[in-house]
DNA sequence: TCGATTTATATAACATGTTAAATATTAACG
DNA sequence: CGTTAATATTTAACATGTTATATAAATCGA
């Protein structure tokens, strides 16, 4: 699958930097998502960072142990978690972000800004088109 | 990552069919690759199906247990495996292939043949551009 | 208010990806 | 030759994806 190879090629550029700071790709996505709002509920965080709830649950446990995030519960709904990034978490991001942005810039110049934009557009449209095409893909008669 | 979401959207169309026959996405890739030549060495198979050697090793063990593939060793090189698909394996493929092709056709018509071709081209070029850009992505001074 | 259903999150079980190390075999070199 | 380096494959250890199930809390209806 072309999508698979392209994604692998892209991620291989970012992994070394993340690995140097003992972060996985998914942990990085979660941390960065947490900088975009004061607090998140677990479900929101999973949607925003495209990570399944079971994985997110494990990731949060790991990040909490490293004190990169903190958790609370909502007053109004004792089921809901309030997840936020800590000062340490922000420091780590500040440490990594420049590297990450440099890699991204490398990719942009290597591939071309315009083509990258076109690619983004097509990918978004493909996902959108498939997702609302049919919520439950029809399993043909059998 | 847009690549991630697009891939997930695509695969969610194929997974139900595969799951109904107790196959994972990767096992399916391996089986199909095996139909394109008489025999494969493990390393070739890993490259062709974009699966890491450790994963492939586990997958081959599982597929062999189900008698969908068979293994031998090369005369000239006792390290090298000779992996080939069995009759049962071909039967399973014949059973699934029509469903798989129908899903693919659905995606093609939903998204548009021309746009799909454009997307393929961009993905291939992106992967190629990143892969020979630099074998070892330069880790900047730190 | 009680009980059934939904919602938010967590856990279990299994397969795969990633990294590193182990094993076996071949090739290369002194 | 024998020792070392390279190659093909496997295994180990850990993190994640996928599916199914469990737990807890909220909501809804009788």
Spatial contact of B4 and A11, defined as CB atoms under 8 Å apart: no
Token pair of B54, please? Answer: 């450790």
Cα B119 from chain centre = 19
Given this model, what pLDDT does residue B137 score? 45
Q: How do residues A45-78 score in pLDDT, each as one tens digit?
A: 999 999 999 999 999 999 999 999 999 999 999 9
Q: What is the pLDDT along chain B (142 residues), one digit of tens a residue?
A: 789 999 999 999 999 999 999 999 999 999 999 999 999 999 999 999 999 999 999 999 999 999 999 999 998 899 999 999 999 999 999 999 999 999 999 999 999 999 999 999 999 999 988 877 554 444 443 3
CA distance A98 to A139: 47
Phi (first) and psi of residue B136, to 5 degrees:
-110, 105
CATH of domain B11-130: 1.10.10.10
E strand or H helix that includes residue A63: helix A53-65
Residue whose C-alpha is closest to residue A46's, from A63, A76, A26: A26
Which nucleotide is closest, CA of B53 to its C1'? D9
CA dist list (Å): A81 to A41, A60, A87, A122, B114? 5, 11, 19, 35, 45
Which residues of A make CB contacts under 8 Å with B? Answer: 1-10, 12-13, 16-17, 29, 50, 99, 102-103, 107, 110-111, 115, 118-120, 122-127, 129-131, 133, 137, 139-140
Q: Give the CA B132 to C1' D5 distance in Å.
A: 27
Cross-strand partners of A83? A40, A71
> CATH fold of A2-129, please?
Arc Repressor Mutant, subunit A (1.10.10)
CA distances from B133 to A104, A111, B39, B130 (A): 14, 10, 32, 5
Domain boundaries, chain A: 2-129
Q: Rounded CA gap, B113 and B141, in Å?
A: 45
Name beta bridge partners: A81. A73
Mind telling me how many Å the CA of A75 is from chain B's nearest CA? 33
- Name the DSSP class of A2: H
Question: How far is Cα A88 from Cα A85, in angstroms, rounded to an integer?
Answer: 8
Residue A82: per-residue pLDDT? 95
The closest nt to B55, taking CA to C1', is C16
User: What's the CA gap between A37 and A84, in Å, rounded?
Assistant: 8
DSSP structure class, residue A40: B
Chains A–B, number of C-beta pairs less than 8 Å apart: 116
Q: H or E element: which one contains A86?
A: none
Q: Is the CB of B80 under 7 A from strand D?
A: yes
For residue A93 the two structure tokens come to: 């991001």
Q: Which residues in chain B are closer than 8 Å to A2, comparing Cβ atoms?
A: 119-120, 123-124, 127
CB within 8 Å: A127 and B99: no
The number of residues in chain B equals 142
């Amino acid at each position: 699958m072309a999508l698979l190879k392209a994604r692998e090629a892209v991620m291989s550029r970012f992994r070394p930097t993340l690995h140097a700071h003992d972060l996985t790709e998914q942990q990085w996505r979660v941390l960065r998502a947490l900088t975009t709002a004061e607090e998140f509920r677990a479900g929101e965080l999973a949607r925003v960072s495209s990570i399944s709830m079971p994985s997110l649950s494990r990731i949060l446990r790991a990040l909490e142990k490293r004190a990169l995030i903190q958790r609370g519960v909502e007053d109004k709904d004792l089921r809901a978690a309030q997840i936020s990034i800590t000062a340490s978490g922000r420091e780590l991001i500040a440490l990594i972000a420049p590297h990450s942005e440099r890699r991204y810039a490398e990719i942009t110049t290597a591939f071309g800004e315009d083509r990258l934009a076109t690619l983004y557009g097509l990918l978004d449209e493909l996902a959108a088109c498939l997702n609302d095409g049919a919520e439950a893909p029809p399993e043909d008669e059998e």
